[in-house]
Amino acid sequence: MKKIVNYVGLLVMASLLFYSCNKDRDTLTPNPDPEPEPPIENGLIFPKKEMRAVWLTTAWGLDWPLSDYNQASQKQKYIEYLDKFKDLKINTIFFQVRAMGDTYYNSAYEPWATSITGTRGKDPGYDVLKFLIDEAHARGIEFHAWMNPYRIATRAGNSAAYPALHSSIDKSWVVDHEKIQIYNPARPEVRQRISDIVKELVTKYNVDGVHLDDYFYPDPSTAGTMVSDQVDFQTYGAGFANIGDWRRSNVDKAIEGIYKTIVATKPEVVFSISPAASKDYNYNTLFADLGKWCKEGWVDVLIPQLYQEIGNASNDFQTNLGIWSQFAYKSALVIGHGYYKFGDATQGAAFQSTGELEKQIVLAKKKAKVVGSAMYSAKYILDNKIGITDRLALLYSKPAVMPFVGRAVAAAPTTPTSVRIEGGQLKWATTGNVQTVVYYFADLKKEGEVVAITKEQSLLVDKAGYYCVATLNVDNQESKVSDTVQK
């Protein structure tokens, strides 16, 4: 979902060679992933639940606000995105609220984001994040706050200076590599600070989730000349046989800390991570042991960035889909698609056809663990190169029920009562803070479809067949369905 970066010292290559030759990377037993059976209740076959998501990038203003520093037009641009997403029946956005050690909200820990006003630390004059969340929720779209845990700033090279650090940051917590400035993953104080930043966010704002991408240790192939962490290893690495295991442990502790902070502060918030496509690359270069995090239950939703095409010689979509399906363990699995590549002439033949996206989504749906797809990124939805968004509209022609992927906090939903058809309207009764899912079956022996997800207690229905309803609470738990009624 961006140019991938990680952090390793100049001595890393030797340690990696030692590590890769002497460590069994996949000591975790893979999770069997049988082909799914259609969900059946009351003898009915229901459509699979789906998170339908899109990433909205604010680093360098890429998707929003696109170097537009006027409050009114910023808001209009965002609303244009949301209205398009609603039309497409997209139900989730991952909005980048903290891209460069700066934030889209008033924080005690970091300055206002540069991309909002053009000036780092400048107050934009409105509560940006509240506006973003409220507008998404008004359209029935979940808002997941996307954060980069370690990155503070980037630059082209040593000739440019990094921005001044926030007054609350101790310089000893920071590492200045040639092209990226990061919080030092080795420092316990850094892990605490990251957890504190997450706690502040979920306490102040009604976000549905906290989301991290694949910025963990930087990749030396893109980060330029690196600062060695050998001294930190000598200081903090007691008990570790090699520097690779120690680095992975540092990131493990950060992820566990974020997860525990969310659960202790606002447990209904969903925690998701989107790793790079290759499991081995995450493990060996970014020092991110996704299999362990999923097995420990620290990650609610895993969203690997499978941006390569089916049949790619070095990073095949289908191969990576199979691997992540095996190692997601306790995590739900959503697949990230390289939407930005469609219609880009530099990306190869597969991405000049909208059929590639359909094939990817069909393959993903066949995996029992997979509960949705995420598109990178938002502006390409509007661009609609080669008609890719028109194809997505066909793939998403019916609404989708959001899967339950986190923790149950709200009261369990109850089945609607008094379900009936009167004067061409399907009617029912519900109690509590719930939405109703309306299912339609043309044939009781075939898979049904979602007609609507609504707060109302009636719906005009015009197709002959069978209808039933269920309720969804705010945690996305679904009640048992009602009996069917026939029109």
CATH code of the domain covering residue 446: 2.60.40.10
pTM of the model: 0.93
> Exposed, middle or buried by CB within 10 Å (0-12, 13-18, 19+), for 459?
middle
User: What CATH number should be reported for the domain holding residue 230?
Assistant: 3.20.20.80
Query: 441 with 367, same domain?
Result: no
pLDDT of residue 41: 73
Phi-psi region of 259 (alpha: psi -120 to 50; beta: other; left: phi over 0): alpha
CA atoms within 13 A on the CB side of 350: 18
Q: Are strands 142-147 and 92-98 parallel, antiparallel or unpaired?
A: parallel
Q: How many CB atoms lie within 10 A of CB 485?
A: 16
Q: Are strands 92-98 and 151-154 parallel, antiparallel or unpaired?
A: unpaired
Q: Taking a C-beta distance cutoff of 8 angstroms, is the pair 476, 404 a contact?
A: yes
State which amino acid sits at residue 129. L
State which amino acid sits at residue 80. E
Query: 129 with 272, same domain?
Result: yes
Query: 362 with 438, same domain?
Result: no
Residue 473 pairs in a beta bridge with none
Q: Taking a C-beta distance cutoff of 8 angstroms, is the pair 147, 98 a contact?
A: yes
Write the CB contacts of 221 (distance below 8 Å, at least 6 apart in sequence).
Answer: none
Residue 406 domain-assigned? Answer: no
Q: What is the pLDDT of residues 173-207, one digit of tens each?
A: 999 999 999 999 999 999 999 999 999 999 999 99
pLDDT of residue 62: 98
In which domain, by residue range, is 322 found?
12-395
pLDDT of residue 365: 97
Query: 470 with 377, same domain?
Result: no
Q: Is 389 helix (H, G, I), strand (E, B) or coil?
A: helix
Query: 437 with 307, same domain?
Result: no
Query: 430 with 390, same domain?
Result: no
Q: Are strands 301-302 and 332-337 parallel, antiparallel or unpaired?
A: parallel
Q: Is 22 helix (H, G, I), strand (E, B) or coil?
A: helix
What six digits make up the tokens of 223? 């980060």
pLDDT tens across the length of the chain (487 residues): 543 333 334 333 334 333 333 333 445 667 655 444 456 677 899 999 999 999 999 999 999 999 999 999 999 999 999 999 999 999 999 999 999 999 999 999 999 999 999 999 999 999 999 999 999 999 999 999 999 999 999 999 999 999 999 999 999 999 999 999 999 999 999 999 999 999 999 999 999 999 999 999 999 999 999 999 999 999 999 999 999 999 999 999 999 999 999 999 999 999 999 999 999 999 999 999 999 999 999 999 999 999 999 999 999 999 999 999 999 999 999 999 999 999 999 999 999 999 999 999 999 999 999 999 999 999 999 999 999 999 999 999 999 999 999 999 999 999 999 999 999 999 999 999 999 999 999 999 999 999 999 999 999 999 999 999 999 999 999 999 999 999 9
Residue 5 domain-assigned? Answer: no
Q: Taking a C-beta distance cutoff of 8 angstroms, is the pair 269, 208 a contact?
A: yes
Query: 187 with 87, same domain?
Result: yes
Determine the Cα–Cα distance for residues 66 and 76; give it in Å rounded to an integer: 12
Give the helix/strand (H/E) hosting 293. helix 290-296
Query: 453 with 387, same domain?
Result: no
